[in-house]
């Protein structure tokens, strides 16, 4: 850890700055310690500024000692020399070195006061018109306003990075808006949570039982529920949990319900004796999905069945295979039905069906779109189908500046997709909000085919769309349960199906692709995993790359056999410190050139470029890459994703980057790895489930090695329970098909 310090210093020179996020690298000076380098989120900082800065001294491997600034405030300039340096730096639009000298010559140490309070006096100076004087005043006040916002928020524990976000959202009136209702920050600013705002509100003087606080608390508890997969909460449960969390009376929460209902901040849905409370986006999404699905399913489709049979026969011949009965039924169903679901485990022929459907639709001159929820799943779909597949976000043309969960898409009901057939893979990962936006963009008369494995873990986002649609029993569904002959040779496929049916996996010896190494203690297990990944498995898999081809998947984040500890161990083994490699300490990990890393949050705005010069945008949750270089002076990391997409990451965005030698099973969804190493030790009962084990096993292409305890494996196989997600989609779909739901 670096040494914390608080300094009064002057900005001598701004070496580099990023206007988009406020990050800057500056040469600074202090009367006691002389010149030094300061880095951090320093919006609107300029040469000549004097600041009071709090931060930490850190020693960088290449650039030496630097002062990393967490909080700062500008100090009023009164010395003529300082004012001249500030104005001549170009800090204020319309003032250069010559104009700065004229202003100082006339107004001296009062120059900044004149610019602020009596700007028309500037017009007394030759070359400054009244219009220019007002423009100088406006730009100067804009900068002062930002400085005031930063100082105000720093006082309440909100750092400069968050303060800059708030300024960009609220503008120069941010302080007044926040004082009026600090809880507006919870709704409007991505990354600022209720607890942070609640502490600030208490210091500002907001009463504990104020309506604004209770309403924000209700929204916060509902958002926590959404983070756990629920689209709603039962009203009494919500009231009790909110009252307990806020330490207020339950009656006060019920009063706030009324206010929020009237103002449409929550939506109420009565289902029999149960009263459900929704955040509006989830209520709208559930009913929207139901309505669109119902509409698309009812579109009339005319089919010449004899011709269709002949076309499928020809495709069968072209592909050199004989379709099983259910495969043929699925291929026919894609033509006959407006909406169809294909579900099944590994080795049951889902990919074959997709490829056949693509071939059939191409014969019919229909425009086809392929998509998946994540970048890795889309890349895998592209490879399997030999046709470009996109993430659903890219398919819908997500717009720049979109915050996570506040999506804005160019493709919608006013500007629908042109595709006649849309095939979505890995449907188990699609949450209700994304499904709603997708269906909004499907043109009337188009076909949508959903492919997925309903027995995998549900989506990270709220809802359980695939399961709810299956449970509604209103859509044409093909359930694949036959393992094909070529897949029967793989114990990965065989054991995946055994696990899914509640049977222990079989271990058939040295020639197998599925092993278990019994290691009772976690320390012993970690040593075994390290040796496997670094030494034995690369040889067993015939020169496999230990970084690219072998993936550790673990159910847990923390603990000796958790993601964080395993990542540190594997980083030390596979990419140890070196004088030839730069590194930077960030959040949980130290990141180093050459590290395998993963994006942990969708970033729709970041740009990437390939070696051939082609460009694009967007890096998504779960995308894996490697740090090619760290540019310390410029303040960014260069990361190459999927072996081809080069991205420049400002250091403040590295909060969304984790090491990826090990990852959680949840994060691995939609991915496929040559070999999977899975540590299994006692953990929270919520994680010891058959679905999690099944998901982990089905991520492997060529090899699975379980390291750990047989009793944990057995307990997971036996445990068919899963956290019940509160979702109203199934009932909404049934109502929509019965005509009892208002159309969207």
Q: Give the pLDDT confidence of 618-632 residue by residue, as tens digits.
A: 888 888 999 999 887
CA of 537: how far to CAs of 529, 531, 533, 547, 676, in Å?
A: 10, 8, 6, 11, 10
* Coil, helix or strand at residue 190: coil
pLDDT in tens, 544-558: 788 889 999 999 999
Mean pLDDT to the nearest integer, 439-446: 95
d(CA 288, CA 307): 36
Residue-level pLDDT at 691: 92
Residue-level pLDDT at 656: 87
Residue written as token pair 């080069």 = 646
DSSP state string for 266-294: SEEEEETTEEEEE-HHHHHHHHHHHHHHH
Beta-carbon contacts of 542 under 8 Å, excluding residues fewer than 6 positions away, are none
Tally the residues of the chain: 744
Mean pLDDT to the nearest integer, 149-154: 73
Please classify residue 590 by burial: count the beta carbons closer than 10 Å to its beta carbon, then call 0-12 exposed, 13-18 middle and 19+ buried. middle
Band (pLDDT 50/70/90 cuts) for residue 488 is low
d(CA 512, CA 637): 41
Instruction: Give the pair of three-digit tokens for residue 438.
Output: 């997708």
Model confidence at 401: pLDDT above 60: no
pLDDT in tens, 306-362: 899 999 999 999 998 889 899 999 999 999 999 999 999 888 889 999 999 999 999
Mean pLDDT to the nearest integer, 195-201: 87
Beta-carbon contacts of 47 under 8 Å, excluding residues fewer than 6 positions away, are 11, 12, 13, 14, 85, 86, 89, 91
Residue-level pLDDT at 743: 44
Residue-level pLDDT at 744: 46
Q: Who has greater pLDDT, 233 or 405?
A: 233
pLDDT in tens, 518-534: 999 999 999 999 999 99
The values of phi and psi at residue 16, to 5°, are -160, 140
pLDDT in tens, 648-679: 988 878 888 999 999 999 988 888 899 999 99
pLDDT in tens, 695-705: 999 999 999 99
Instruction: Residue 654: name the closest of 597, 596, 571, 616 by CA.
Output: 597
Cβ-contact 39, 25 below 8 angstroms: yes
Instruction: Give the pair of three-digit tokens for residue 593.
Output: 């050139």
CA of 500: how far to CAs of 108, 278, 357, 667, in Å?
A: 81, 33, 27, 20
Instruction: Give the pair of three-digit tokens for residue 504.
Output: 């222990």
The values of phi and psi at residue 183, to 5°, are -70, -10
Cβ-contact 292, 439 below 8 angstroms: yes
Beta-carbon contacts of 120 under 8 Å, excluding residues fewer than 6 positions away, are 130, 133, 134
Answer left, alpha or beta for residue 20, where phi above 0 means left and psi between -120 and 50 means alpha: alpha
Helix (H) or strand (E) holding 71: strand 64-75
The values of phi and psi at residue 65, to 5°, are -75, 135
Pairing of strands 368-372, 389-391: parallel
| Bridge partners (DSSP) listed for residue 592 | 583
Cβ-contact 287, 432 below 8 angstroms: no
Residue-level pLDDT at 246: 94
d(CA 689, CA 707): 17
Pairing of strands 624-631, 596-599: antiparallel
d(CA 595, CA 130): 57
- pLDDT over 70 percentage in the chain: 95
Mean pLDDT to the nearest integer, 374-386: 88
pLDDT in tens, 18-33: 766 677 889 999 988 8
Instruction: Residue 269: name the closest of 741, 744, 724, 737 by CA.
Output: 741
Model confidence at 64: pLDDT above 80: no
* Coil, helix or strand at residue 471: helix
Q: Specify the pTM.
A: 0.80
d(CA 51, CA 40): 13
Q: Who has greater pLDDT, 6 or 488?
A: 6
Cβ-contact 249, 242 below 8 angstroms: no
* Coil, helix or strand at residue 598: strand
Mean pLDDT to the nearest integer, 678-692: 92
CA of 380: how far to CAs of 343, 391, 669, in Å?
A: 18, 11, 12
Cβ-contact 62, 24 below 8 angstroms: no
């Amino acid at each position: 850890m670096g040494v914390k310090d608080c300094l009064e210093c002057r900005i001598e020179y701004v070496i580099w700055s990023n206007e988009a996020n406020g990050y800057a690298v500056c040469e600074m000076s202090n009367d006691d310690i002389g010149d030094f380098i300061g880095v951090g989120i320093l919006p609107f900082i300029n040469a000549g500024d004097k600041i009071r800065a709090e931060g930490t001294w850190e020693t960088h491997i290449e650039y030496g000692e630097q002062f990393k600034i967490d909080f700062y405030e500008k100090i009023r300039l009164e010395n003529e020399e300082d004012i001249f340096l500030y104005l001549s730096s170009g800090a204020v639009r319309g003032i250069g070195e010559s104009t700065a000298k004229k202003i100082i010559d006339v107004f001296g140490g009062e120059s900044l006061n004149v610019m602020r309070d009596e700007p028309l006096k500037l017009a007394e100076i030759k070359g400054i018109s009244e219009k220019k004087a007002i423009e100088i005043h406006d730009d100067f006040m804009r900068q002062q306003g930002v400085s005031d916002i930063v100082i105000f928020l720093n006082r309440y524990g909100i750092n400069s990075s968050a303060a800059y976000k708030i300024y960009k959202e609220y503008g120069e009136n941010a302080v007044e808006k926040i004082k009026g209702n600090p809880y507006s920050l919870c709704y409007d600013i991505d990354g600022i949570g209720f607890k942070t705002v609640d502490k600030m509100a208490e210091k500002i003087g907001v009463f504990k039982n104020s309506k604004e606080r209770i309403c924000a608390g209700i929204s916060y508890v509902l958002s926590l529920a959404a983070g756990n997969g629920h689209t709603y909460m039962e009203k009494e449960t919500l009231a009790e949990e909110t009252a307990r969390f806020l330490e207020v009376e339950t009656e006060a929460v019920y009063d706030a319900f009324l206010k929020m209902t009237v103002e449409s901040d929550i939506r109420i849905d009565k289902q029999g004796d149960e009263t459900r409370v929704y955040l509006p986006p989830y209520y709208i999404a559930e009913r929207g999905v139901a309505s669109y699905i119902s509409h698309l399913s009812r579109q009339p489709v005319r089919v010449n069945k004899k011709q269709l049979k002949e076309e499928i026969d020809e495709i069968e011949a072209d592909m050199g295979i004989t379709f099983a009965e259910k495969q043929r039924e699925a291929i026919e169903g894609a033509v006959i039905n407006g909406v169809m679901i294909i579900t099944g485990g590994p080795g049951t022929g889902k990919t074959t069906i997709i490829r056949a459907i693509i071939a059939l639709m191409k014969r019919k001159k229909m425009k086809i779109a392929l998509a998946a929820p994540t970048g890795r799943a889309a890349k895998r779909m592209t490879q399997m189908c030999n046709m470009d597949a996109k993430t659903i976000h890219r398919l819908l043309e997500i717009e720049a500046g979109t915050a996570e969960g506040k999506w804005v898409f160019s493709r919608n009901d006013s500007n629908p997709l042109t595709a006649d057939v849309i095939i979505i893979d890995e449907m188990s990962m699609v949450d209700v909000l994304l499904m709603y936006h997708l269906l909004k963009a499907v043109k009337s008369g188009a076909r949508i085919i959903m492919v997925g494995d309903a027995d995998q873990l549900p989506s990270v986002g709220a809802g359980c769309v695939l399961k709810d649609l299956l449970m509604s029993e209103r859509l044409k569904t093909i359930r694949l349960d036959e393992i094909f002959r070529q897949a029967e040779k793989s114990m990965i496929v065989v054991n995946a199906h055994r696990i899914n049916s509640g049977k222990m996996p079989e271990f058939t010896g040295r020639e197998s692709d599925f092993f278990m190494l019994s290691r009772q203690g976690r320390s012993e297990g970690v040593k075994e995993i390290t040796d496997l990944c670094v030494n034995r498995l690369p040889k067993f898999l015939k020169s496999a790359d230990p970084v690219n081809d072998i993936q550790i998947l673990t159910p847990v984040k923390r603990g000796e056999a958790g993601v964080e500890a395993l990542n540190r161990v594997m980083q030390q083994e596979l990419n140890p410190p070196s004088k030839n490699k730069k590194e930077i300490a960030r959040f949980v990990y130290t990141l180093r050139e050459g590290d395998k890393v993963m994006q942990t949050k969708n970033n729709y705005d970041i740009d990437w470029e390939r070696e051939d010069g082609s460009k694009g945008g967007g890096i998504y949750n779960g995308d894996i890459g490697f740090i090619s270089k760290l540019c310390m002076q410029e303040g960014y990391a260069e990361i190459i994703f999927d072996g081809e997409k080069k991205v420049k990451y400002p250091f403040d965005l590295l909060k969304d980057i984790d090491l990826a030698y090990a990852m959680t099973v949840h994060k691995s969804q939609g991915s496929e790895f040559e070999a999977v190493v899975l540590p299994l030790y006692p953990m929270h009962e919520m994680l010891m489930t058959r679905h999690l084990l099944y998901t982990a096993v089905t991520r492997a292409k060529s090899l699975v090695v379980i390291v750990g305890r047989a009793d944990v494996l057995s307990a997971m196989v036996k445990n068919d329970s899963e956290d019940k997600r509160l979702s109203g989609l199934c009932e909404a779909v049934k109502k929509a098909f019965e005509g009892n739901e208002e159309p969207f």
